Structure 1
């Protein structure tokens, strides 16, 4: 799979059951070896976590990520969360849906190899 778009604004029903079960040790790591574009624009934060946590998903290098700025900010705990940092360093093209450009040094440090673009729509 080269492109993945997720659209689901509802939270994951069984998320709590999985989290309480030995920190997801019974779940396999999902690998997207050929992924080049990941669109997470109209999704609940649960799905963003699922795809950006390095303990749940393996992303290759050089991925384009299209995502809502506020959602990304929440899931990454204002660009400080270690659980999402590894996969975020693999992003080389970050397309943020935002009302205006956000000058955030933490964002650039969190996505050190990414060209960052802002847009109102995708």
Structure 2
């Protein structure tokens, strides 16, 4: 399940992904993270600590970093790979869940099919 991260403003980031209870639990571990219903995205403060927390929580998961954000936040690109241009709508239509370190999304290495 692909996660898409982009700038919402100079002070906030949007994080989008298809519904997944494990990802939602992870987002709730980021201080100040809120669901932004009109934008259908999680919104977090654009701070060093929040970016670090996001990278730790979603390490090993397929994350697409918006090209604008990738140009100014190199640690995200270093952690998740080359930044790509992709619309938020494409992120919503991502493929079925993948095993992210065997824990996220309620899947474990034992429950793989």
Q: Considering the TM-score relative to the shorter chain, is it more than 0.5?
A: no
Q: Where is the helix percentage greater, Structure 1 or Structure 2?
A: 2
TM-score where L is the length of structure 2: 0.31
| TM-score computed with the length of structure 1 as normaliser | 0.29
- Report which structure shows greater RCO (CA 8 Å, sep ≥6): 2
Query: Which structure has more strand as a fraction of its residues?
Result: 1
Larger radius of gyration: 1
